[in-house]
């Protein structure tokens, strides 16, 4: 079975409850579509746990990308950062990075290096096929006109893009994204997975007090943990 969750944002307890609930078997995979860190204070713990598991695969979210940049610059002994980066660093800390920075700072040097290389190698998207149905998994995607010409997409399209959930991008492929709490797509879906127009939006807003949502792509079963 293939499961997908996203935007865990340092909610370590919810992450562990999801892992417990799924009880992944040898051929099962859990994809986490980015924004593992920031806001909640357990992001680094989640990374350390994911690194030990063979069948949990993470993609890169905007928070993971920024954490990589700023942890490298400011938590290691690198004082060569320019003023512009310092400004960005401050904004990141205020946007939930503080929790990640603080937890990272407590790691020993080996752990720091392995967390950084974990973040460094996160892919931007993944295409998979389940029983003939194709899926495009990413933290987020850009507008349809740009995504259908994927060769011209840039990293930031998969980190900061704004999906057009009202449009079907591909007739033969379902796009699965996090990043946008589903309540912003339809206020009736706060805390729930939203489906429509060959999109599945799975950011249930776990860090904002909602259950953490997860979907099984083989069965479309939705799983929620508090």
Residue 61 as a binder of Mn ion (CB under 5 A): the answer is: yes
Member of 6, 62, 100, 192 binding Mn ion (CB under 5 A): 62
The phi and psi torsions of 174 (rounded to 5 degrees) equal -95, 130
> Segment contacting Mn ion (CB under 5 A): 58-66, 87-95, 147-155, 204-212?
58-66
Q: Does 35 bind Mn ion (CB under 5 A)?
A: yes
* C-alpha torsion angle, residues 75, 78, 81, 87 (rounded to 10): 10
- The crossing angle, in degrees rounded to 10, of helices 62-70 and 109-120 is 140
**Which is it for the CA torsion 4, 176, 147, 133, positive or negative?**
positive
Q: Which is nearer to Mn ion, 69 or 81 (CB)?
A: 69
157 binds Mn ion (CB under 5 A): no
Contact 103, 43 (CB under 8 A): yes
Identify the H or E element spanning 116: helix 109-120
Residue nearer to Mn ion on the CB measure, 70 or 112: 70
CB closer to Mn ion out of 4 and 112 = 4
Q: Is 180 in the site for Mn ion (CB under 5 A)?
A: no
Nearer to Mn ion, 112 or 179 (CB): 179
Tell which phi-psi region holds residue 147, choosing left (phi > 0), alpha (psi between -120 and 50) or beta.
Answer: alpha
Q: How many residues bind Mn ion (CB under 5 A)?
A: 4
- Binding segment (CB under 5 A) for Mn ion, from list 55-63, 106-114, 124-132, 206-214: 55-63
Is position 204 an interface residue for Mn ion (rule: CB under 5 A)?
no
The nearer residue to Mn ion, 10 or 61, going by C-beta atoms, is: 61
* Among 146, 107, 135, CA closest to 202: 135
Applying CB under 5 A, which residues contact Mn ion?
Answer: 35, 61-62, 179
């Amino acid at each position: 079975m293939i499961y997908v969750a996203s935007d865990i944002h340092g909610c370590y307890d919810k992450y562990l409850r999801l892992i417990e609930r799924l009880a992944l078997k040898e051929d099962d995979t859990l994809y986490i579509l980015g924004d593992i860190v920031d806001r909640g204070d357990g992001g680094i713990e989640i990374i350390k746990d994911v690194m030990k598991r063979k069948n949990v695969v993470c993609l890169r979210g905007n928070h993971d990308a920024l954490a990589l940049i700023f942890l490298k610059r400011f938590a290691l002994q690198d004082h060569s950062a320019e003023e512009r980066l310092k400004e960005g660093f401050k904004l990141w800390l205020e946007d939930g990075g503080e929790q990640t920075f603080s937890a990272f700072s407590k790691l020993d040097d080996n752990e720091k290096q392995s967390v950084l290389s974990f973040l460094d190698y996160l892919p931007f998207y993944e295409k998979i096929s389940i029983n003939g149905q194709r899926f495009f998994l990413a933290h987020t995607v850009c507008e349809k006109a740009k995504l259908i010409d994927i060769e011209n997409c840039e990293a930031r399209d998969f980190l900061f893009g704004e999906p057009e959930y009202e449009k079907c991008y591909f007739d033969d492929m379902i796009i699965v994204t996090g990043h946008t709490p589903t309540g912003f797509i339809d206020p009736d879906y706060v805390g729930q997975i939203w489906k429509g127009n060959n999109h599945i939006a799975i950011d249930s807003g776990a860090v904002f007090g909602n259950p953490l949502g997860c979907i099984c792509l083989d069965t479309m079963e939705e799983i929620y943990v508090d």
